[in-house]
Structure 1
Amino acid sequence: MTFAYPLLFWLLPIVPIVWWAMYRRSRGEVVTMRFSDLGMLRGVKPSWRIRMRPLLISLRAAALGLLVVVLSRPQYAQSSERVVREGIDIQLALDISLSMKAGDFDPKDRITVAKEVIAEFIKGRKDDRIGLVVFSGNAFTQVPLTLDYDFLQTLLGQVQTVRRPDGTAIGTALAHSVNGLRNSTTKSKVVILLTDGSSNRGDIEPAQAAEIARALDVRVYTILVGKPGGGEYPVHDAWRDETYLIPAPTAEDEVALRDIAEQTGGIFFRAGDEQGLRDVYATIDKMERSQVASEKLVRYTEAWQPWAAGALLLLMLEILLRNTILRSIG
């Protein structure tokens, strides 16, 4: 229990002073009678009614004390905490060109590892809208920004490499991802672009796409996957019904991806194996966290009523006794 005006309790020491003043006054209001001889009254003791007279003063003083408590406004405080979380809008741009089938992430290929790591990244997010853009020689939205992580995971699991149009349109993919964030009202907008090659397709150059991202205040993290020297990926020849292993190109020129990250306030990463890629996404996950604020709410319930009822009851009892069994003469 709390009190709105606790300083009023300094009035409580006045109560015993008031009691003493009323007691002294009652002693001075004794009704007297004249007797020619007081000898016959020496053995007479005061009746219980006389001895109970100070009770009336005590009841009134106690009522006064309770009124002081009422004036201090006793209250019950109920506190609650409301957590406000501001999410981040994240676009995941995933390269699905044929070279992502390269098996240099032994025993898995690049696309399989990338999908598994991205799925784990999504599981670790909360209250963030996440979208998925896939690209090769062109780019398209697989999943628009959503909070439905189960739906996102389902469509991510269905992503496969494509043969046509082959190539790597990094600029187009970045511009397409940024366009999906154009109407975002969140303070933090992020693109995580994963590829294994250099930009060799598309109508938009990576530098142009980076300028668009910077203009819209979108931070871009770029990830280059694959071991130096690359691996091999299978290509099926439908005419001959044969499958060939073709050396996978590995982008040794990191300049474009570094420039994109630096221009937009992001970071460039390189991952040559599965653990390296997991570390990259773990780092981004720690850097891009939702802003959380807590707001404490306190609700007060007035509790003066029982104290007021007690004071009223004492006053009524005092009046009742004063006018009945403890009634004075004269």
Structure 2
Amino acid sequence: MIEFAWFWVFLVLPLPWLVRRWLPAAPEPGRAALRTPFIEEFEQLPSTQGVKRVKPYGLWIALAGWLLLVGAAARPQWLGEPIEQTVSGRDLMLAVDLSGSMEIEDFFLEGRAVDRLTATQWVAGQFIERRVGDRVGLILFGEQAYLQAPLTFDRTTVHILLDEAAIGLAGDKTAIGDAIGLAAKRLRDNPAEQRVLILLSDGANTAGAVSPMQAAELAAREKLKIYTIGVGADQMVVSDLFGTRRVNPSKDLDEVTMNGIAEKTGGRYFRARDTNELEQIYALLDELEPVERAKHFYRPRTELYPWPLAASLLLASFLAVTKLRE
């Protein structure tokens, strides 16, 4: 079937008549200074055959051109048969720690030492790209929690925003509870089986208005499932005035709280000591079963306005050429 996207455009159809009816007529050209007593004889002479043939139809051609032009402006469209489209997937919210401790270089990526955030951006970015059919959102937290990207099918933009995140952007401390509370608020209106948060941190909660366990209780009431990931190596070699020594760069990681958050909400806690473990964790998270949503229907639309527009331009060109040949 054919429909007009901008049907209201047809309201301008009587515009030429209104202009002719209400605007004053153009002034007649000045009369000749020389008066000839036989001017009436010239007026009685028959017109040339060409002009006589065109003039009776000029008004109708102009009217047809105007109708075609208005019809093209109303955007006629051909609607095809309804096509069923099934959308499946989950709504996944990622919460990434940007506190100062994420700059510790205890991860290796392609043979070079990198900080924890760089490794997270690399692995989580690939995870985002693989979630075809899912809506993905991004929360960045440090001393405060910020919604960097709402839930969206535009995974490329979420990936870019994750790559642009910088350590200390949200403060040097860690507000895990605030990040969970923000995620629960943003996912509150989603179906219960689709409320999933993947929270990644390398430390303990040191800031925020809500404690992690209080936020976990709120998340549990909201049916929000949380998967927590603790990142950081168990040991690394550092140099000082007395030579080299081994230290535990993850001594501040509160695994008890991270595990408690996951258990409270029906999720699971993962420990990522290096890039390989981090990749394995995201591969495991990749196996979340998609949930089928309601079916959607759409009708393909084909724009038809070029045809009446071209016809209108042809008629206008014909009238212009005829006027020039008079």
Instruction: State the TM-score, normalized to the length of structure 2.
Output: 0.57
Are 1:231 and 1:248, in contact at CA under 8 Å, matched by a contact in 2?
A: no
Question: Which residue pairs with 1:271 in the alignment?
Answer: 272
How far apart are the structure 2 equivalents of 1:132 and 1:257?
Answer: 19
How far apart are the structure 2 equivalents of 1:99 and 1:121?
Answer: 23
1:182-212 CA-partner distances (Å, limit 9, x unpaired): 1223632100000000111111001111011
Query: 1:173 aligned to 173, 179, 184, which one?
Result: 179
How far 1:292 moved relative to its partner?
Answer: 5.0
| Distance change in 2, residues 1:223/1:230 (3 Å) | farther
Task: Determine helix, strand or coil for the equivalent of 2:137.
Answer: strand
How far 1:149 moved relative to its partner?
Answer: 1.1
Task: Determine helix, strand or coil for the equivalent of 2:215.
Answer: helix
**More moved, 200-209 vs 85-94:** 85-94
| Distance change in 2, residues 1:208/1:124 (3 Å) | same
| Distance change in 2, residues 1:175/1:164 (3 Å) | closer
Task: Determine helix, strand or coil for the equivalent of 1:190.
Answer: strand
Question: What code does the residue aligned with 1:260 have?
Answer: I
Question: Which residue pairs with 1:127 in the alignment?
Answer: 133
How far 1:164 moved relative to its partner?
Answer: 6.2
| Distance change in 2, residues 1:164/1:133 (3 Å) | closer
Are 1:104 and 1:231, in contact at CA under 8 Å, matched by a contact in 2?
A: no
Q: How many residues align?
A: 201
Are 1:130 and 1:145, in contact at CA under 8 Å, matched by a contact in 2?
A: yes
Unaligned runs of at least 5 residues, structure 2: 1-82, 239-246, 296-326
Question: Which residue pairs with 1:285 in the alignment?
Answer: 286
Are 1:196 and 1:250, in contact at CA under 8 Å, matched by a contact in 2?
A: no
Unaligned runs of at least 5 residues, structure 1: 1-80, 233-245, 296-330
Query: 2:214 aligned to 208, 211, 220, which one?
Result: 208
| Distance change in 2, residues 1:155/1:164 (3 Å) | closer
How far 1:84 moved relative to its partner?
Answer: 3.1
The sequence identity of aligned pairs, in percent, is 37
Find runs of 4+ consecutive structure 1 residues off by over 6 angstroms.
Answer: none
Task: Determine helix, strand or coil for the equivalent of 2:107.
Answer: coil
Question: Which residue pairs with 2:59 in the alignment?
Answer: none
Question: Which residue pairs with 1:185 in the alignment?
Answer: 191
Are 1:127 and 1:147, in contact at CA under 8 Å, matched by a contact in 2?
A: yes
Are 2:204 and 2:254, in contact at CA under 8 Å, matched by a contact in 1?
A: yes
| Distance change in 2, residues 1:179/1:274 (3 Å) | same
| Distance change in 2, residues 1:290/1:163 (3 Å) | closer
How far 1:137 moved relative to its partner?
Answer: 1.0
Matched, 1:261 2:267: no
Instruction: State the TM-score, normalized to the length of structure 1.
Output: 0.56
Bigger Cα Rg? 1
Task: Determine helix, strand or coil for the equivalent of 2:181.
Answer: helix
1:42-69 CA-partner distances (Å, limit 9, x unpaired): xxxxxxxxxxxxxxxxxxxxxxxxxxxx
